[in-house]
């Protein structure tokens, strides 16, 4: 992104994005970043060679909204995505269903195994948001990858929609 004002350029030098852009960051928001901002560890293997860099790469924000919009940390956790993935998708990543309209290309894969920090200043264009259902599915894959599965039972709401629905339903009744 081309920062326009001296204030925006100064903020970018500290890793921050313009306020108007960063206010849009939340769990499940899809942004583009410059492809070279994303690390693919397999590139470091002997004989792997350099990957074909794209002009931009979509990422899904996976950080709590409060952390996204505050000045510190100046990083966000994101899941990089690809629309040029060929072959099978392991259970450590997540195939994006074509019903996820905010993604511009299909088939797309969310590389949950590559969740990583980026500087907030690396955010570029916002494409939209994943659906609440896809966000929960991606959160579950991340929890599994991080060995947190036992900490998140299937019936615990993870998305804003699930939390709102659970709150509207009222307190759960104790089972006999």
Residues in contact with 126: Cβ distance below 8 Å, sequence separation at least 6, in sequence order: 21, 24, 29, 30, 31
Q: Looking at residue 150, what is its pLDDT?
A: 61
Which CATH class name applies to 6-130?
mainly beta
Phi-psi region of 15 (alpha: psi -120 to 50; beta: other; left: phi over 0): left
Q: Looking at residue 170, what is its pLDDT?
A: 60
Q: Delimit the domains of the chain by residue range.
A: 6-130
54 pLDDT band (50/70/90 cuts)?
A: confident
- Can you tell me the mean pLDDT for 126-151? 89
- Can you tell me the mean pLDDT for 71-96? 89
Residue 99 in this model has a pLDDT that exceeds 90: yes
Residue 155 in this model has a pLDDT that exceeds 80: no
- Can you tell me the mean pLDDT for 163-169? 62
Dump pLDDT digits (tens) for 4-50.
788 888 888 888 888 888 899 999 999 999 999 999 998 888 888 77
The token duo for 129 is 């948001």
Q: Which long-range contacts (CB under 8 A, 24 or more apart) does 162-168 make?
A: 162/132, 162/136
Q: Looking at residue 18, what is its pLDDT?
A: 82
Residues in contact with 166: Cβ distance below 8 Å, sequence separation at least 6, in sequence order: 157
Q: What is the mean pLDDT of the chain?
A: 84
Residue 95 in this model has a pLDDT that exceeds 70: yes
- Can you tell me the mean pLDDT for 98-117? 93
Residue 160 in this model has a pLDDT that exceeds 70: no
Residue 164 in this model has a pLDDT that exceeds 80: no
Dump pLDDT digits (tens) for 56-69.
999 999 999 999 99
């Amino acid at each position: 992104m081309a920062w326009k004002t001296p204030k925006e350029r100064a903020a970018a030098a500290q890793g921050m994005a313009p306020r108007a852009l960063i206010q849009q960051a939340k769990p499940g928001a899809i942004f583009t970043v410059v492809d070279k901002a994303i690390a693919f560890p397999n590139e470091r293997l002997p004989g792997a060679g350099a990957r074909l860099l794209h002009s931009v790469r979509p990422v899904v924000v996976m950080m709590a909204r409060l952390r996204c919009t505050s000045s510190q940390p100046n990083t966000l956790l994101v899941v990089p995505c690809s629309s040029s993935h060929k072959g099978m998708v392991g259970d450590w990543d997540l195939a994006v269903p074509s019903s996820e309209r905010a993604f511009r290309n299909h088939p797309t894969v969310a590389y949950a195994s590559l969740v990583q920090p980026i500087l907030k200043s690396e955010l570029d264009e916002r494409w939209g948001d994943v659906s609440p259902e896809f966000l929960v599915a991606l959160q579950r894959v991340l929890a599994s990858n991080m060995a947190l599965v036992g900490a998140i039972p299937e019936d615990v709401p993870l998305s804003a929609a699930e939390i709102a629905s659970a709150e509207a339903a009222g307190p759960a009744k104790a089972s006999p």
